[in-house]
Structure 1
Amino acid sequence: MNSIAEHIADFLKKYPPFDNLTFQELSEIATSIRVINLEKHKVLFQINDVLHDSFYVVASGVINLSVIADAEETLLNKCYEGDIFGLRPFFAKNNYMMTAKAREESIIYAIPIAVFRPFVANNSEVLDFLLHSFATNTSNPSDKENLRGKLISDNVYFSNQQSEMQYFQSLTYNIAPITATASSIVQEAAQLMTNSLSTSVLVCENNLPIGIVTNTDMCSKIATGRFPITTTLDKIMSSPVVTVIENVSLAEAQLLMLKYNVTHLCVTQDGTDKSAVKGVISEHDLIVAQASNPGVLIKEIKRSQTPKDLKGIRERLTELIQKSISKNIPLSHVNNLASEINLAIIKRSVELSILDLGSPPARYAWLSIGSQGRKEQLLTTDQDSMLIFEDVTAEKYRDVKDYFLKLGKRTTAILEKVGYGYCTYGHMASNMLWCKSLTDWTNQYNSWMNTPGENSNQLSSIFFDFEIVIGENKIEEVIENVVFNNIKNNTLLFDFLGNEALRKNSPLTFFKKFNVEEKGPNKDKFDIKTRALMPLIDGARLFSLSYNLRGVNNTYLRFKQLAITDPRNSEIYLNCAKAFLTLSKFRTMEGLKNDNSGQYINMQELSKANKEILKNALAPMDELEDLIKNKFQLTQFS
């Protein structure tokens, strides 16, 4: 054995998962490892590159792993000596989803997957390290103190929080697989496979799977002449079959195919080969499933050319939300996911309008306000937006305002076609009241905040929840500064906002029955938005403003942040955060069921258990109400 290979084996032995292999095994692997010298800033692979046949270990130097999201490069991780990266080819067939670039001059070991795979298959510790790390996308799972030797999954889409989506994402697979008996003739099975464009046939006995014959078996055993075409399936089938439970996730299916080195999994009722067959998952199904992951949707949005394209993606998002909720993924993750995709759709709609109108005559910022501004828009609700353009000279003002009004009208029309209804109150950038210069907006905020109650109530609260979609961040910062400067010692404003937060009718009657609608099209239904969610949203905003919490707009995160800022009342805030997620989930389920905004809950359709859960989620609101009354002097507007 040569001294270089020996040196590499010595090096690898120090780091997981290689420390689970014998020196003999490592030496065997080391002879086929390539050593790569990367100069500073040199890229090893980038997003959308075709997968390499190796994965990599850092021998020295630092490698940055990053993704491009919204035209910005986001650093996901740094890999130091002993760290593994570039594992994607182990798990997936589609291209790289991140970029690996040398931060300084580095030496990398490229380990061929074909050489390493047998060692993975035979060594459960190595396999577990890879699987666990891949699935959880964490550092080395065995070291809680975050020692070196972490393994980074390349399965990240557009932000760290979403990386575990893949672990939960469910699969669509063939639920009517071809089955045959052990004594069936190969020729007949091949004919069946061809007719139904299937890549496998399951061999069953009493509807229990005992083996599988795939395209690969046909090629390697029949086409090569090893067995005649008249042979029976039991002679060429792979047995036993690798079985999985019905709602297996994408990542779990990938891992099992890797573990057993197979291309098909048999889905059965209880996940074992002792229960009835429910379907077959092929490698192709995994590739299709990856195409509906969030990162892919975002890429498609960026390439969309028409409202129709965007509408199709918005419908797929609804499916993704439905599947995620049915698999009990935490609602905060689902919220992140949906808001990123909604944001990308709105941004693309503005870009398509600019392509039609020509480039803007001044710098501007398009802000989402209301639920999308708070990243809480799971269902298609109406649009709320505002447009701010920089101050221009008096003679240019008219033309510039004209351009941005046209931009507002065109964009809101596109969004309406995509499925976001127009705002009934006209809070949209297409309305000349919500499309103004920076100075006009500054004056508007000053007036709202210093003489509250003289403008329509609608305005005061919704305009504190904003998020930039496209344009100049500096403009958004100016507005944020105006808000926080006007808050200081503004007891009148807090008096107004406090009363606003308490104005919604109580969700429960004196006798602890749900306060349902008494008349109109939603008679006997419970208005979960107005009576339950809005008081929490208003309360979280009120306290966040009073504690000067900048940059946190989301209600759930506001409550979490308040628990840290005001520890004496942390229990109340944490209960409210939990309640907010529970109530949001009820609303989302109702909306998905009826294809609407889910505002009104049909109490007749709720089970007794769900009514209890809903009632319990309303409990923290009393405590929040008391907290508001104690903290703010509510006199003027009560």
Structure 2
Amino acid sequence: MKNTIAERIADNLRRFPPFDLLQKEDLQQISENVKVIYLEKNSNCFKENEVRHEQFYFVKDGAVGLYKKDETTESLVDICDEGDLFGLRPLITKENYQMSARTNEESVLYGIPINIFTPIAEKDKKISNYLIASFASNTRNPIELEKGGKLFTEYKVDRNPDLFELQTASYIKNPICCSPDTPLKEAAIKMRNQRIGSIVVVSNEQIPVGIITNSDIRNKIATGDFSINTAASFIMSSPVITQPSGITIAQAQMIMVRHNIRHICITEDGTAHTKLIGMLTEHDILLSKANNPSVLIKGIRRAKSVKSLREIRLKIGILLKVYIDQNIPLSHVSKIIGELNSLIIDQTISLSVTEMPNEPPVNFAWLALGSQGRREQLIPTDQDNALVFEDVHADKYANTKAYFLELANIITKHLHAIGFEYCKADMMGSNPKWCESLSNWKNQFSNWILKPTEETILLSSIFFDFDLAYGDSKLVDALTESIYKSLEKGDLFCTYMGRDALKNPSPLGFFRQFLVEHDGKNKDTFDIKSRAMMPLIDAARLLTLSQKVKNINNTALRFENLALLEPQNAELYKSCAYSFKALLKFRTKQGIQNNDSGRYIKLSSLSKEDRLKLKRCFKPIKDIQELIKVRFQLASFL
């Protein structure tokens, strides 16, 4: 006789990872042993420090908040929605809970039995990977992950490891070389100047005869065994291991393990008797994986060309897709992707400065603006940036500005080549209007605040979300101070900004239908940016400025900070923070799926569940706009 309840549970589970990876019979076995749990709003599933359960949890309906206590308060870490997993600690580390799980609304949960699920999951690395990623994203102290058992040791993020291993390995072309009789001091200086850890020793015919690495210098020179003026041939490791240019990643890994080496010389025919054409290192193989943020960071810092940075930027896109596919919370994703993007911009500017004929005449700062400044740009869209340089004497101003405009043109050109499109409105540091001295920027911001117009409010909404991308932080601090000093006299500015924050009402019509575009190339699509995200972005900015909160630009973090400052409105602010993260994740998914910015969504392409999730995010918009209307007395302006 069929177990119809188990079949329904299986149908619900197979729609979500990692259960969609299970064999039919394994899913059936789990479903027959699932415990269905109904909890009313504000009910605890488990509490912090509670003894671990024999099951972890799947949200079938509703929402569950994960909370962490410190000495005085309890803060919301994440919200688990339909299809999300939580309570994985007993499965991964066999420890008691370090967070509390409490329902934010009436919820139905599935308790997945650990004793049945574990042997099934350990048969498939993809399932283990997903569980570890889910667990890691909700763990505050990464060191705790080292305590994990077998599932954790299996953790990788590779989407298709078998296919990856068969790819041709990328190698360094034109590696740094020296002759056998080169004094070691000269070779070491070359290594230092190029910031590399090895140098190939070649004959007059450019045939590789040996290699010197940092470890050779440490073990043979620093110990006093050889003089710093010793010829390279005396301390080089020889013979070298050589391979042809078509070597695959799998082959390279096996060769390195077999010979206990970290470098392979690439020659014309793969033998040690032909000319050297490249060098393949263990680091290059790690970098090729494109799934480890720490490896990507090292790659960015080592990059010597815009082309290299573009390749890494594409790998960041792959990493983002992996994270989104694996349903990792956006707070975790944003921090990683935001930091990687910032490092790419930083390295781009560093490379651009070296292309200038002279060093910068004074200190300067490159500002990321808009979504980049808020660290909310997961998918690269257009550039929004500006440049501020130190004040100089009037007779030096023109030449100083000309220098920085030339530099800004190089920077924006390189960022475009990497994948950050030019701003159609030309709000970039290469525009003379947005490349100015500190005093001119202060005066400009002061005028915007003290003499607000519709145009200056629009500019403020972009420029006031600035973040230091490169350069002198003191210039940024000075700009911030000038803004808040002007705000003390700018009551009308807050009124204008409040009115601007209300220009986009709730995204739903009278009959709770989505409001779509009525004309143009995006007709009948839903504009998730302007109709859903911008109202929350504008509200968070206005409330943060009015509260004189400095150095917090991210929309979700702004709301979370406001919740601490105004306990009476904490629930609303936390709802806004959660809704914004959900909307940003939704937009990112759409962008990855459609290979665009994700801004305009075809509603016909959404499932019923996705439509419901979107609508759920809209309620805080109306509520936060009502708060703004009352607080800034805007009824007469509407």
- TM normalised by structure 2 equals 0.57
Instruction: Give the secondary structure class of the aligned counterpart of 1:359.
Output: coil
Counterpart in the other structure of 1:516 = 516
CA distance in 2, matches of 1:545, 1:139: 29
Q: Which runs of 5+ in 1 are unaligned?
A: 1-130, 142-149, 156-163, 179-194, 200-214, 220-282
Q: Give the 3 Å change call, closer, same or farther, for CA 428–175 of structure 1 in structure 2.
A: closer
Q: Give the 3 Å change call, closer, same or farther, for CA 140–428 of structure 1 in structure 2.
A: closer
Q: Residue 172 of structure 1 is aligned with which of 160, 164, 168?
A: 160
Counterpart in the other structure of 2:414 = 414
1:594 aligns with 2:594: yes
Counterpart in the other structure of 2:20 = none
The 5 A counterparts of 1:224-373 are 292-357=291-356, 358-373=358-373
Q: Give the 3 Å change call, closer, same or farther, for CA 417–564 of structure 1 in structure 2.
A: same
Q: Give the 3 Å change call, closer, same or farther, for CA 137–290 of structure 1 in structure 2.
A: farther
Q: Deviations over 1:530-570 (max 9, x none)?
A: 00000000001111111111111100111111111011011
The 5 A counterparts of 1:46-445 are 169-170=157-158, 172-174=160-162, 292-357=291-356, 358-445=358-445
CA distance in 1, matches of 2:461, 2:474: 22
Q: Give the 3 Å change call, closer, same or farther, for CA 636–472 of structure 1 in structure 2.
A: farther
CA contact (8 A) 1:331 1:581 kept: yes
1:533 aligns with 2:533: yes
Q: Structure 1 counterpart of 2:316, which letter?
A: L
The 5 A counterparts of 1:36-51 are none
Counterpart in the other structure of 1:247 = none
Instruction: Give the secondary structure class of the aligned counterpart of 1:516.
Output: coil
How far off its partner does 1:172 sit? 3.3
How far off its partner does 1:489 sit? 5.2
CA distance in 2, matches of 1:603, 1:355: 48
CA distance in 2, matches of 1:446, 1:140: 43
The 5 A counterparts of 1:578-617 are 578-617=578-617
CA distance in 2, matches of 1:509, 1:446: 39
Q: Deviations over 1:344-399 (max 9, x none)?
A: 11111211111111310111111101101101010011001110001101111111
Instruction: Give the secondary structure class of the aligned counterpart of 1:371.
Output: helix
CA distance in 2, matches of 1:471, 1:285: 29
CA distance in 2, matches of 1:412, 1:140: 37
Structure 1 residue runs of 4 or more that deviate by more than 6 Å after TM superposition: 134-141, 175-178, 195-199, 283-286
CA contact (8 A) 2:389 2:438 kept: yes
CA distance in 2, matches of 1:610, 1:373: 29
Counterpart in the other structure of 2:274 = none
Counterpart in the other structure of 2:490 = 490
How far off its partner does 1:584 sit? 0.7
Q: Structure 2 counterpart of 1:631, which letter?
A: R
Which deviates more, 487-496 or 439-448? 487-496
Instruction: Give the secondary structure class of the aligned counterpart of 2:162.
Output: coil
Percent identity reads 42
Counterpart in the other structure of 2:52 = none
CA distance in 1, matches of 2:446, 2:437: 14
Q: Give the 3 Å change call, closer, same or farther, for CA 391–153 of structure 1 in structure 2.
A: farther
Q: Which runs of 5+ in 2 are unaligned?
A: 1-131, 167-246, 259-281
CA contact (8 A) 2:506 2:618 kept: no
Q: Deviations over 1:255-313 (max 9, x none)?
A: xxxxxxxxxxxxxxxxxxxxxxxxxxxx9999678663112112211222222211111
**Alpha-carbon RMSD:** 3.5
Counterpart in the other structure of 1:624 = 624
CA distance in 1, matches of 2:519, 2:337: 34
How far off its partner does 1:342 sit? 1.0
CA contact (8 A) 1:496 1:636 kept: no
Q: Give the 3 Å change call, closer, same or farther, for CA 370–595 of structure 1 in structure 2.
A: same
CA contact (8 A) 2:165 2:248 kept: no
CA contact (8 A) 1:496 1:634 kept: no
Q: Give the 3 Å change call, closer, same or farther, for CA 378–154 of structure 1 in structure 2.
A: farther
Counterpart in the other structure of 1:73 = none
CA distance in 1, matches of 2:141, 2:307: 44
Q: Give the 3 Å change call, closer, same or farther, for CA 321–382 of structure 1 in structure 2.
A: same
CA distance in 1, matches of 2:290, 2:446: 47
CA distance in 1, matches of 2:343, 2:439: 28
Instruction: Give the secondary structure class of the aligned counterpart of 1:452.
Output: coil
1:553 aligns with 2:553: yes
CA distance in 2, matches of 1:176, 1:569: 50
How far off its partner does 1:176 sit? 12
Q: Give the 3 Å change call, closer, same or farther, for CA 636–471 of structure 1 in structure 2.
A: farther
Q: Structure 1 counterpart of 2:160, which letter?
A: T
CA distance in 2, matches of 1:374, 1:465: 6
Counterpart in the other structure of 2:226 = none
Instruction: Give the secondary structure class of the aligned counterpart of 1:366.
Output: strand
CA distance in 2, matches of 1:567, 1:516: 36
How far off its partner does 1:634 sit? 2.2
CA distance in 2, matches of 1:575, 1:300: 38
How far off its partner does 1:464 sit? 1.2
Q: Structure 1 counterpart of 2:300, which letter?
A: I
Q: Structure 2 counterpart of 1:330, which letter?
A: P
* Count of residue correspondences: 395
How far off its partner does 1:507 sit? 0.9
CA contact (8 A) 2:287 2:296 kept: no
Counterpart in the other structure of 1:562 = 562
- TM normalised by structure 1 equals 0.57
Q: Structure 2 counterpart of 1:172, which letter?
A: N
CA contact (8 A) 2:506 2:621 kept: no
Q: Give the 3 Å change call, closer, same or farther, for CA 443–153 of structure 1 in structure 2.
A: farther
CA distance in 1, matches of 2:419, 2:391: 33
CA distance in 2, matches of 1:636, 1:444: 29
Q: Deviations over 1:458-501 (max 9, x none)?
A: 20211111110111110000000011112225320110110111
CA contact (8 A) 1:505 1:531 kept: yes
CA distance in 2, matches of 1:614, 1:568: 26
Instruction: Give the secondary structure class of the aligned counterpart of 2:391.
Output: coil
Counterpart in the other structure of 2:29 = none
CA distance in 2, matches of 1:197, 1:442: 53
Q: Structure 2 counterpart of 1:388, which letter?
A: V
CA contact (8 A) 1:524 1:602 kept: yes
CA distance in 2, matches of 1:197, 1:517: 48
CA contact (8 A) 2:290 2:315 kept: no
Instruction: Give the secondary structure class of the aligned counterpart of 1:626.
Output: helix
CA distance in 1, matches of 2:354, 2:160: 37
